[in-house]
């Protein structure tokens, strides 16, 4: 990784960063795909509520996409997120069913429970990866098995939520006349998306994560606390995973052991499709958002086309992922340069 000195006052136009270029490719693919669906499939995709449905049904996955993007930009990986989603969702559902704590206090405590579970996993995994130097794949694989096992201990059956205050909160939605309805969970997911963008773009921690993923030695030379930055990226991932579990039950109104199955793979795929590199240093949470939209649009196209066999959806999603990985390789190689930090990443001496 090379750090180029740039001047904001320079009249020369700065080249587009790898992050922005790959994200724009993902946006273009989504627009073309959705436009084709509107032309060739028809009514279902011409309804603006369909876009809102994509957001409502995949709100928790949007949050997971942000989680994986942050970790992957830092050069790590977290495959425990699906298990943490499942554990936090089931724990909250069981709490709301059995605690006897009614009203708003019950809702608040259940939310804190979800965030606490995510925080616990983030702290543990972040410490093992950052300060003990254990490979993140091994650590988060263990976290995935642990969270799934504990979930089954809590309950092996579906847990319907009948908590009145929770169900009232679930009904909260933004109704736009003649456009559609956006659920509270989707609104929260979009706010988290914006918050994580601001964190990566304007906060020192975000810039440190980019630098860490680009080249750890260069990050050390810049005076970045590498261990702390990596640790905090896993903490953020854990908290977001816990929140994603809560958002899931806000949409489904029940907890079950199948929650989050394969969601870690979907989140990784969304991040990659959105332009995040597995090698680190390149990525954008808005790209991950469009990655989620692309994968969910594929599902909707299959459903609208009355394709019953589930393996076609797997084939389409896998082909799309392979296409984006190939596209990333071609784009970066044709640019004929080493990956560099974006011009807006600047560090001041402390």
| First CA to last CA distance, the chain | 22
User: Tell me: the pLDDT tens digits for 62-95?
Assistant: 999 999 999 999 999 999 999 999 999 999 999 9
Burial status of residue 141 (CB atoms within 10 A of its CB: 0-12, 13-18, 19 or more): middle
185 versus 333: the higher-pLDDT residue is 185
Residue 13's φ and ψ, nearest 5 degrees, are -75, 130
Q: What pLDDT, on the 0 to 100 scale, is given for residue 346?
A: 55
Q: What percent of the chain shows pLDDT beyond 70?
A: 88
Average pLDDT over residues 242-246: 95
The domain spans of the chain are 53-332
pLDDT reported for residue 186? 94
**Whether pLDDT at 290 is above 90:** yes
Mean pLDDT of 262-284: 87
Mean of all residue pLDDT scores within the chain: 84
C-beta neighbour count of 330 within 10 angstroms: 10
pLDDT value of position 125: 96
Please tell me the predicted confidence (pLDDT) of residue 1: 42
Task: Tell me how crowded residue 299 is: count the other CB atoms within 10 A of its CB.
Answer: 15
Tokens of 142: 């263990």
Paired tokens of 20 = 């922005």
Decide if 234 contacts 166 (C-beta within 8 A).
Answer: no
User: What is the dotted CATH code of the domain comprising 53-332?
Assistant: 1.10.3470
Mark out the alpha helices in the chain (DSSP H runs).
18-40, 43-46, 49-57, 59-73, 81-98, 103-130, 136-154, 164-171, 184-202, 204-214, 216-221, 226-252, 263-273, 285-304, 310-334
Strand partners of residue 254: 160
More confident residue, 7 or 128: 128
Q: Is 310:320 a contact under the CB 8 Å cutoff?
A: no
> Residue 308 — pLDDT band, cuts 50, 70, 90?
low
> DSSP letters of 28-74?
HHHHHHHHHHHHHT-HHHHSTHHHHHHHHHTHHHHHHHHHHHHHHHT
């Amino acid at each position: 990784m090379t750090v180029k000195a740039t001047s904001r006052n320079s009249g020369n136009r700065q080249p587009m960063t790898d992050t922005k270029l790959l994200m724009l490719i993902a946006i273009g693919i989504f627009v073309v795909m959705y436009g084709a669906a509107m032309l060739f499939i028809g009514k279902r995709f011409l309804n603006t509520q369909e876009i809102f449905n994509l957001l409502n049904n995949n709100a928790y996955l949007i949050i997971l996409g942000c989680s994986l993007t942050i970790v992957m930009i830092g050069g790590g990986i977290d495959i425990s997120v699906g298990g943490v989603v499942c554990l936090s969702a089931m724990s909250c559902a069981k709490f709301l069913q059995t605690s006897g704590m009614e009203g708003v206090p019950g809702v608040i405590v259940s939310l804190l429970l979800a965030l606490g579970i995510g925080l616990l996993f983030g702290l543990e995994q972040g410490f093992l990866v950052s300060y003990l130097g254990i490979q993140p794949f091994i650590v988060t694989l263990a976290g995935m098995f642990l969270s799934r096992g504990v979930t089954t201990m809590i309950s092996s059956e579906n847990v319907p939520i009948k908590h009145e205050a929770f169900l009232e909160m679930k009904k909260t939605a933004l109704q736009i006349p003649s456009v559609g309805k956006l659920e509270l969970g989707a609104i929260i997911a979009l706010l988290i998306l914006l918050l994580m963008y601001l964190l990566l773009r304007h906060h020192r921690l975000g810039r440190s994560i980019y630098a860490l993923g680009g080249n750890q030695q260069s990050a050390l030379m810049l005076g970045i606390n590498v261990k702390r930055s990596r640790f905090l990226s896993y903490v953020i991932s854990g908290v977001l995973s816990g929140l994603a579990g809560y958002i899931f039950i806000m949409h489904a109104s029940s907890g079950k052991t199948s929650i989050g199955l394969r969601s870690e793979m979907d989140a990784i795929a969304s991040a990659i499709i959105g332009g995040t590199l597995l090698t680190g240093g390149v990525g954008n949470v808005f790209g991950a958002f469009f990655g989620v939209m692309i994968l969910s649009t594929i599902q909707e196209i299959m459903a609208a086309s009355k394709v019953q066999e589930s393996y076609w959806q797997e084939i389409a999603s896998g082909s799309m992922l392979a296409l984006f990985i190939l596209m990333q390789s071609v784009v970066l190689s044709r640019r004929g340069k080493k990956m560099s930090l974006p011009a807006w990443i600047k560090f001041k001496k402390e």
